[in-house]
């Protein structure tokens, strides 16, 4: 009996909510397959044969097209068929599977405050839904969830498609030859409630906030003479269904997110189609040395926090503490005091009413208050809402590595010499502070500006980044970010192994580049200067997540030559295709307004790999792309960023960003006891090889979540399934460099170090990071943040392995031309692990400082990608993910 015969015999199935759906025998086969797999008898042919037996029994019981069976009828029939055919063990496994599914379904319904599960709720696992429920789903004034997961993604998709609609060739002319009455359109902003869900595209309704975005987007374009029709004519066309073809675009965006292939940054999912309407993750503000400017930036920061964003500020233009203020004859309080003001504002203004904001505070190495700034956060409770970084330029590296004693001049904000210090002592101070508390980070402004094509148009260098450091921005620019889940872009070969789907990757990059370009247009920015600056540069940040899981599936070690080569190609493809798609958008929509004033028309691009890697190491024809940019311009000033994806990765059920897995197994404790959380890929591998059991999971957990050094684990598994703690810190830097060569903006990456490293190792990591061309670095020594925050192991935890640099990084270091850097790095790499590495008690039994607890659910935070993330509810200390 084939599927067509079955369809004509049964036809439909009655779902639990009473509605009918098409009968699909494959679902029965898959359910039986899972039961077979649970008994270690995986056999698809047998599952298919048994499923046919189930259908025959359904027909014998009188079910037909006119009398469709219910879900429960089919499940009961599966049980009886398995028992009657002599498969009692499989029947037992199926009954347990059915019971577990019922438990999960009931928990999902409770979690979502729902009577039925929508398609996304059915497909997402419980952990992903917990994050959706705690952070993203809309709630009423009683705090009750009022939308389902599918409605969330539809809400976002409809808003994003509004960006596409107004660029339709029937409506839009990029040459700007059509003056319109924008006042007519603005008038509708005063009567949004009257137009809530009055217009629709296909079967998708525009709520009043979608309608607001349509108005604002129209006003922007019409203000430049680019709309061919008046606003009322546009509405008439929508009512007449002339633009219903954009329903397909809405469905496309919906599927990108609902399939877990791609997710935009958190504010987009929180606010798209909602009251706030603010879609950007983060912003940069300036901090001029005058009270009016300081208060303006403070007010702007408050509005940003209220809207759901984070802020990066360079405080170096503020005069040093104790300096005389000429206008009042008073004494300046210094940059750190003004950071405390922003810290207080962050504390009292919750992001979007949901959580505290995030900040990046920067002081450049030449500033007289730099030493106080460096040591300020080594104690708990100071500037809790800040990440802090020291910005360094060429002159610092010249003093550090050049001839002489390393003397370095600190200077006033006016450029006058203040006092001389030792560059060696300053970097030692930075390294010791980071060794102790994981802060400050270092930002390499010389590397950031090396290929900065915007400097000419913006009147100077980039001097600030967003809170997690991956996006360098000019004042009032915004981060508009999204991440592709690489772990899903695989396909099975004939031998059952996986291979990467490069064609689908290209398609995904092109779609998501357009998605993020639309974000710029339909965004409701919190400050008018941000609206203007964001639309002048149209900077976006397309990135990735799931890299570690992808490498697991492909059986490629993360820190191997093969791993580095694949990641380089992934990064190159990301930027190449996103820039190529941005050129295509420029042809139809227009280049970003500042483009003619930049270095793009001169044939320059913000991609280090194009200049620094030999042509035979390039996979794509970059010269052809540059020629296209010179002829047509480009839509987005920069297109790629690898941002933190802690929360997004939980939603997409994959590993964070381009980070290695933090741990393959770790212990989670709940009120009723404890259980082991296991990476799904390694769990499947262990089961396939008969190794999966609680005793082994406990041993892996006690081994820092690593397989390394465990006798019962085959060597090939130990090599492939590596964790962050299996990888030497120098290889963490190398893999960040591999991505940075091709990424236009920067990378959110944590350089993990074991507890027993020294401050000299930290210093060596800075030197190597700068040499590798990184734009910044964050070092995290295990246990350095007052207490280890993740329950990775029991009190008996002990690492059974040592970690060494790969041959790949060792060979690179030997080729470093700067003798000082090569000597310092070599000394750190050759020192090796200590003979008796001290172990860290990862089993917290005493009170953990408040800063290490999630402010939402009070569970423990994990530090990754330069950002703290809660593995229970999805809270992130960074705003992008």
- Is the pLDDT score of 326 beyond 80? no
Same domain, 763 and 838: yes
> Could you tell me if residue 444 is inside a domain?
yes
Question: How many Cα atoms are found within 13 Å in the side-chain-facing hemisphere of 133?
Answer: 21
> Could you tell me if residue 690 is inside a domain?
yes
Structure-block tokens of residue 512: 């998501």
Question: How many Cα atoms are found within 13 Å in the side-chain-facing hemisphere of 581?
Answer: 22
> Could you tell me if residue 250 is inside a domain?
yes
Give the residue numbers spanning the domain of 184: 149-259
Cα dihedral: 552, 556, 560, 561 (round 10): -140
Report whether 94 contacts 106 (CB < 8 A): no
> Could you tell me if residue 650 is inside a domain?
no
Give CA–CA dist 279/693, Å, rounded: 44
N residues, the chain: 881
Same domain, 622 and 705: no
What are 77-112's pLDDT values in tens digits? Answer: 888 888 888 878 778 877 887 888 889 999 999 999
Same domain, 92 and 156: no
- What is the DSSP-derived secondary structure letter of residue 672? T
Catalytic residue positions, numbered = 466, 468, 470
> Could you tell me if residue 298 is inside a domain?
yes
Q: How many domains does the chain have?
A: 5
Task: Tell me which H or E stretch contains 499.
Answer: strand 498-500
Edge-to-edge order in the sheet of strand 441-444: 478-479, 282-285, 310-314, 359-364, 386-392, 441-444, 776-781, 750-753
First-to-final CA distance of the chain: 49
What are 824-838's pLDDT values in tens digits? Answer: 999 999 876 443 332
Same domain, 606 and 695: no
Backbone conformation region of residue 618, classed left if phi is above 0, alpha if psi is from -120 to 50, else beta: beta
Beta carbons within 8 Å of 111's beta carbon, 6+ residues apart: 126, 129, 130, 133
Give CA–CA dist 855/360, Å, rounded: 19
Same domain, 20 and 89: yes
**Residue ranges in 402-546 assigned as alpha helix (H):** 423-437, 445-448, 455-458, 502-522, 528-537
What are 37-52's pLDDT values in tens digits? Answer: 766 666 778 888 888 8
Report whether 253 contacts 160 (CB < 8 A): yes
Lowest mean pLDDT among 43-52, 294-303, 396-405, 461-470: 43-52
Q: Long-range contacts made by residues 453-457, C-beta under 8 angstroms, separation at least 24?
A: 453/598, 453/599, 453/600, 453/604, 453/605, 453/606, 453/637, 454/537, 454/594, 454/598, 454/599, 454/637, 455/599, 456/597, 456/598, 456/599, 457/594, 457/597, 457/598
Same domain, 689 and 773: yes
Q: What is the mean pLDDT of the chain?
A: 89
CATH of the domain at 355: 3.20.70.20
Per-residue pLDDT averaged across 279-289, rounded? 95
Give CA–CA dist 126/88, Å, rounded: 30
Confidence of residue 798 (pLDDT cuts 50, 70, 90): low
Confidence of residue 850 (pLDDT cuts 50, 70, 90): very low
Closest CA to 425 of 445, 446, 399, 449: 399
> Could you tell me if residue 827 is inside a domain?
yes
Confidence of residue 862 (pLDDT cuts 50, 70, 90): low
Same domain, 53 and 15: yes
Same domain, 86 and 230: no
Cα 742 to chain centroid distance, Å, stands at: 18
Report whether 77 contacts 87 (CB < 8 A): no
Beta carbons within 8 Å of 470's beta carbon, 6+ residues apart: 541, 641, 642, 643, 644, 745, 746, 747, 748, 866, 880
Same domain, 286 and 251: no
Same domain, 302 and 153: no
pLDDT for 495 equals 86
Per-residue pLDDT averaged across 326-337, rounded? 72
**Residue ranges in 494-614 assigned as alpha helix (H):** 502-522, 528-537, 547-554, 561-589, 608-612
Same domain, 162 and 192: yes
pLDDT for 10 equals 79
- Is the pLDDT score of 7 beyond 50? no
> Could you tell me if residue 249 is inside a domain?
yes
Same domain, 222 and 313: no
Give CA–CA dist 700/710, Å, rounded: 8
> Could you tell me if residue 657 is inside a domain?
no
Cα 320 to chain centroid distance, Å, stands at: 36
Other CB atoms closer than 10 Å to residue 201's CB: what's the count? 22
Give CA–CA dist 688/696, Å, rounded: 15
């Amino acid at each position: 009996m084939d599927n067509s015969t079955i369809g004509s015999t049964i036809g439909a199935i009655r779902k639990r909510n009473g509605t009918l759906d098409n009968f699909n025998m494959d679902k029965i086969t898959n359910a039986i397959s899972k039961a077979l797999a649970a008994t270690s008898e995986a056999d698809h042919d047998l599952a298919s044969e048994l499923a046919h037996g189930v259908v025959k029994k359904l027909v014998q019981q009188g079910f037909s097209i006119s009398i469709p069976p219910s879900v429960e009828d089919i499940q009961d029939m599966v049980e009886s068929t398995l028992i009657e055919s002599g498969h009692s063990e499989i029947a037992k496994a199926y009954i347990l599977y059915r019971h577990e599914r019922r438990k999960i379904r009931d928990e999902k319904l409770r979690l979502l405050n729902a009577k039925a599960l929508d398609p996304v709720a059915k497909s997402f696992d419980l952990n992903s839904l917990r994050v959706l429920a705690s952070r993203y789903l809309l709630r009423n004034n009683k705090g009750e969830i009022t939308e389902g997961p599918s409605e969330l993604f539809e809400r976002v998709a409809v808003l994003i498609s509004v960006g596409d609609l107004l660029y339709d060739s029937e409506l839009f002319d990029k040459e700007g030859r059509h003056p319109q009455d924008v006042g007519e359109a603005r008038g509708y902003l005063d009567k949004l409630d009257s137009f809530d869900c009055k217009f629709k595209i296909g079967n998708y309704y525009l709520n009043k906030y979608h309608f607001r975005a349509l108005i604002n987007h129209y006003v922007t374009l019409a203000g430049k003479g680019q709309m061919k029709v008046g606003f009322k004519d546009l509405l008439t066309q929508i009512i007449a269904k002339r633009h219903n073809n954009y329903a397909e675009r809405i469905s496309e965006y919906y599927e990108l997110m609902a399939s877990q292939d791609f997710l935009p940054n958190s504010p987009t999912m929180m606010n798209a189609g909602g009251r706030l309407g603010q879609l950007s993750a983060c912003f940069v503000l300036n901090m001029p040395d005058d009270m009016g400017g300081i208060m303006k930036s403070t007010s702007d920061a408050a509005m940003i926090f209220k809207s759901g964003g984070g802020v990066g500020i360079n405080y170096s233009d503020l005069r040093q503490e104790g300096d005389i203020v000429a206008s009042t004859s008073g004494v300046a309080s210094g940059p750190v005091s003004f950071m405390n003001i922003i810290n207080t504002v962050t504390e009292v203004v919750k992001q979007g009413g949901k959580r505290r904001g995030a900040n990046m505070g920067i002081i450049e190495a030449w500033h007289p208050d730099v030493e106080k700034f460096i040591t300020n956060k080594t104690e708990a409770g100071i500037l809790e809402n800040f990440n802090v970084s020291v910005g360094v330029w060429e002159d610092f590296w010249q003093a550090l590595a050049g001839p002489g004693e390393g003397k370095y001049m600190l200077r006033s904000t006016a450029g006058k010499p203040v006092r001389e210090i030792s560059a060696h002592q300053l970097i030692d101070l930075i390294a010791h502070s980071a060794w102790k508390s994981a802060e400050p980070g270092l930002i390499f402004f010389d590397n950031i500006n090396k290929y900065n094509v915007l400097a000419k148009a913006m009147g100077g260098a980039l001097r600030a980044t967003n809170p997690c450091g991956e996006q360098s921005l000019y004042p009032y620019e915004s981060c508009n970010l999204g991440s592709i889940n690489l772990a899903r872009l695989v396909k099975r070969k004939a031998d059952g192994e996986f291979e990467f789907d490069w064609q689908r990757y290209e398609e995904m990059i092109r779609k998501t580049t357009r998605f993020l370009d639309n974000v710029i247009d339909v965004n409701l920015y919190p400050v008018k200067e941000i609206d203007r600056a964001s639309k002048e540069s149209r900077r976006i940040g397309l990135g990735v997540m799931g890299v570690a899981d992808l490498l697991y599936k492909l059986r490629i070690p993360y820190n191997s030559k093969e791993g580095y080569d694949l990641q380089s190609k992934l990064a190159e493809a990301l930027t190449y295709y996103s820039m190529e798609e941005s050129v295509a958008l420029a042809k139809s929509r227009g280049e970003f307004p500042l483009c003619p004033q930049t270095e793009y028309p001169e044939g320059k691009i913000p991609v280090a790999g194009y200049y620094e890697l030999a042509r035979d190491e390039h996979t794509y024809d970059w010269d052809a792309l540059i020629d296209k940019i010179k002829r047509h311009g480009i839509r987005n000033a920069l297109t790629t960023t690898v941002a933190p994806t802690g929360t997004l990765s939980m939603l997409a059920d994959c590993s964070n960003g381009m980070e290695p897995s933090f741990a393959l197994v770790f212990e989670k404790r709940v009120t009723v006891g404890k259980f082991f959380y296991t990476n799904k890929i390694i769990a499947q591998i262990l089961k396939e090889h008969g190794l999966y059991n609680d005793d082994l999971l406990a041993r892996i957990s006690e081994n820092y979540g690593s397989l390394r050094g465990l006798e019962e684990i085959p060597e090939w598994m130990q090599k492939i399934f590596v964790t962050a703690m299996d990888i030497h810190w120098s290889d963490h830097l190398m893999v960040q460099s591999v991505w940075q060569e091709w990424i236009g903006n920067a990378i959110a990456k944590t350089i993990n170090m074991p507890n027993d490293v020294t401050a000299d190792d930290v210093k060596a990591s800075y030197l190597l990071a700068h040499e590798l061309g990184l734009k910044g670095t964050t070092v995290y020594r295990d246990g350095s943040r007052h207490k280890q925050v993740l329950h990775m192991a029991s009190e008996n935890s002990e690492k059974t392995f040592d970690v060494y640099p790969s041959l790949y990084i060792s060979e690179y270091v030997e080729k470093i031309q700067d003798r000082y850097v090569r000597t310092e790095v070599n000394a750190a790499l050759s020192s090796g692990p200590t003979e008796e590495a001290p172990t860290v008690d990862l089993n917290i039994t005493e009170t953990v400082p408040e800063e290490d607890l999630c402010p939402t659910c009070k569970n423990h935070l994990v530090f990754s990608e330069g950002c703290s993330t809660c593995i229970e509810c999805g809270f992130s200390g960074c705003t992008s993910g």
